[in-house]
């Protein structure tokens, strides 16, 4: 199968804010059988991977079937396959599959996908290629976590020649992606190299303060921080970021600002995690102007925003009704090659629905599918409700049908919303037909819906299918 390599200028998703709107309803009509087969294959793969009895040949067969489908199945199925093969120590196989998937136009990896690939490369002693995969992770606008960075850190720390690079990497992580394994890796590497004094410094500067912050023991964390500065120990970006993030999350804005000022005065440069903590706090307090100004300073200082940066700003702008600025930021984000995630599109969708901006909500809904994201039943119901509120029952029914096509089972809210929408526009025949359908499926209309139908159809008797 001939595949075309994805580049930054050849993104498979056409942002609805930049180009002409994609014809949603044509998607509903085409490839119904293929989609059904894709769903069946996804379920089979997930079941076989969980069974623990999946063999290599069987896994290769599933993969070959997946890449021949258009579009390819969801990233969850691929992740299951990658995870199972990684546990089988088939590291070369995972890397080979990933390279082949890079040529699929609709392939959009998530953090889990990239974590497995990074881990496999490091297991093959190709830490250099692992860092290349990390760069691709960032290029996709994904936020690396501890599982992304720990294999790389381990690869550097296990060799004395690259231990210094490992320590530098740990200090640059800024506490955002550290877990107990991160500290174990760096401490183990330093102990093996006989640098126990460095171990104590690492524990003082990072682990203890990070632990206090996570447990919301801010007084102890601040006391330890002050003790360090009195002893002449220069706090690093990890220490500062842990404190700033914790103060922001607990609503202690003044303390967070003071620590940030101290950080700048000490000559410690903030990283993207530091900025994100402050930006998120500003947006949650409704201070979007200050947040946007801080983002400009961040960019001028050479720190590149990531998906978390844009998510905080977009969410804040949506809540304050600044739609033009929201659109500008979304376009800017996609233009930089940072693809939106579920958080981005959910924020847009919810805000549009609350404001009654149905067409804009539908664009966000479409975007989720174009990015291969899973859409919940609640999201479908919200969009059906929006169309019904505006009397657009034909569009509401098409969204309802698409929900069925994607394998969701309608609940009482799904049916009732559409039935009431039909009643509102006096399309009683369709309402009655839908009520009969829901009763046959064991879903009973509520009393309000029954009363509304009874006003139009006095002779209609509603009872359960039993």
Number of alpha helices (DSSP H) and beta strands (DSSP E) in the chain? 26, 0
Give the pLDDT of residue 460: 54
CA 449 to chain centre: 38
| Cβ atoms of 157 and 186 closer than 8 Å | yes
Q: How far apart are CA 306 and CA 295, in angstroms?
A: 11
| Cβ atoms of 15 and 332 closer than 8 Å | no
Give the chain's end-to-end CA distance (angstroms, integer).
52
CATH dotted code for 271-355: 1.25.40.10
| Cβ atoms of 72 and 31 closer than 8 Å | no
- For residue 42, which of 402, 406, 351 has the smallest C-alpha distance? 406
For the chain, the structural domain boundaries read 28-107, 271-355, 376-466
Domains 271-355 and 376-466 share a fold: yes
Give the pLDDT of residue 141: 78
CA distances, 178 to each of 128, 171, 206, 417, 421 (Å) = 21, 10, 10, 46, 50
- For residue 67, which of 118, 110, 104, 117 has the smallest C-alpha distance? 104
| Cβ atoms of 12 and 6 closer than 8 Å | yes
Give the contacts of 229 (CB within 8 A, at least 6 positions apart): 235
Tokens (6 digits) for 238: 């990890």
Angle at 346 between CA 344 and CA 350, to 5 degrees: 125
Burial grade of 267 (CB within 10 A; 0-12, 13-18, 19 or more): exposed
Q: How far apart are CA 404 and CA 41, in angstroms?
A: 18
Give the pLDDT of residue 314: 93
Q: How far apart are CA 81 and CA 61, in angstroms?
A: 11
Q: Using N-to-C axis directions, what is the helix angle for 91-101 and 75-87, rounded to 10°?
A: 160
User: DSSP letter string over 322-366?
Assistant: -HHHHHHHHHHHHHTT----HHHHHHHHHHHHHTT-HHHHHHHHH
Q: How far apart are CA 276 and CA 291, in angstroms?
A: 10
Tokens (6 digits) for 91: 């590291």
pLDDT in tens, the chain (466 residues): 443 333 333 333 334 433 333 344 334 434 444 566 777 888 888 888 888 888 888 889 888 888 887 777 778 888 999 999 999 999 999 999 999 888 776 788 889 999 999 999 999 999 999 999 998 888 877 888 888 888 998 888 887 778 778 777 876 665 556 666 777 787 777 777 666 555 556 555 566 676 677 767 777 777 777 777 776 667 778 788 888 888 888 888 788 888 888 888 888 888 898 899 889 988 988 889 999 999 999 999 889 999 999 999 999 999 888 888 988 998 898 888 888 888 888 888 888 888 888 888 888 888 887 777 778 888 898 999 999 999 999 999 999 998 888 888 888 888 888 988 998 898 988 888 888 888 888 888 777 777 766 665 655 555 544 4
- For residue 375, which of 392, 362, 391 has the smallest C-alpha distance? 362
Q: How far apart are CA 192 and CA 161, in angstroms?
A: 12
SS3 189: helix
Helical segments of 215-306, H only: 218-230, 237-249, 253-265, 272-284, 288-300
Give the contacts of 231 (CB within 8 A, at least 6 positions apart): none
Q: How far apart are CA 277 and CA 385, in angstroms?
A: 35
| Cβ atoms of 163 and 171 closer than 8 Å | no
CATH dotted code for 376-466: 1.25.40
Q: How far apart are CA 44 and CA 389, in angstroms?
A: 39
């Amino acid at each position: 199968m001939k595949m075309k390599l994805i580049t930054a200028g050849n993104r498979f998703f056409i942002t609805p804010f930049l180009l002409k709107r994609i014809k949603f309803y044509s998607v509903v009509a085409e490839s119904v059988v293929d989609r059904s087969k894709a769903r069946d294959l996804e379920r089979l793969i997930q079941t076989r991977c969980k069974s623990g009895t999946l063999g290599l040949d069987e896994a290769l067969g599933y993969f070959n079937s997946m890449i021949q489908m258009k579009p390819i199945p969801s990233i969850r199925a691929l992740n299951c396959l990658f995870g199972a093969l990684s546990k089988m120590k088939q590291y070369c196989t995972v890397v080979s599959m990933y390279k082949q998937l890079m040529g699929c136009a609709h392939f959009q990896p998530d953090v889990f996908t990239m974590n497995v690939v990074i881990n496999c490369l490091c297991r093959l002693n190709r830490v250099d290629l692992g860092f290349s995969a990390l760069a691709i992770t960032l290029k996709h606008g994904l936020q690396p976590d501890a599982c992304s960075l720990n294999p790389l850190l381990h690869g550097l720390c296990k060799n004395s020649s690259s231990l210094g690079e490992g320590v530098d990497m740990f200090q640059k992580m800024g506490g955002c992606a550290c877990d107990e394994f991160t500290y174990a890796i760096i401490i183990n590497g330093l102990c093996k190299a006989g640098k126990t004094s460095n171990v104590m410094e690492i524990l003082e500067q990072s682990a203890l303060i990070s632990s206090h912050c996570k447990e919301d023991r801010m007084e102890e964390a601040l006391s330890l921080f002050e003790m360090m500065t009195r002893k002449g120990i220069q706090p690093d970006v990890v220490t500062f970021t842990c404190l700033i993030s914790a103060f922001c999350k607990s609503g202690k804005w003044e303390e967070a600002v003071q620590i940030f000022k101290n950080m700048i005065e000490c000559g410690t440069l903030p990283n993207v995690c530091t900025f994100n903590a402050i930006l998120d706090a500003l947006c949650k307090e409704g201070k979007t102007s200050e947040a946007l100004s801080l983002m400009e300073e961040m960019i001028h200082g050479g720190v590149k925003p990531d998906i978390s940066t844009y998510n905080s700003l977009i969410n804040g702008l949506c809540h304050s009704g600044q739609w033009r600025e929201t659109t500008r930021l979304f376009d800017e984000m996609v233009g930089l090659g940072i693809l939106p995630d579920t958080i981005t599109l959910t924020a847009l969708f919810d805000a549009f629905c609350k404001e009654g901006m149905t067409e804009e909500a539908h664009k966000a809904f479409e975007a989720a599918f174009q990015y291969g994201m899973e859409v919940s039943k609640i999201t479908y119901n919200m969009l059906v409700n929006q169309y019904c509120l505006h009397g657009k029952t034909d569009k509401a029914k098409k969204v309802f049908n698409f929900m069925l096509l994607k394998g969701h089972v309608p609940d009482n809210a799904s049916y009732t919303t559409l039935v009431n929408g039909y009643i509102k526009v006096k399309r009683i025949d369709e309402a009655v037909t839908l009520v009969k359908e829901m009763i046959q499926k064991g879903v009973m209309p509520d009393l309000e819906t029954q009363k509304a139908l009874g006003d139009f159809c006095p002779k209609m008797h509603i009872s359960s299918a039993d």
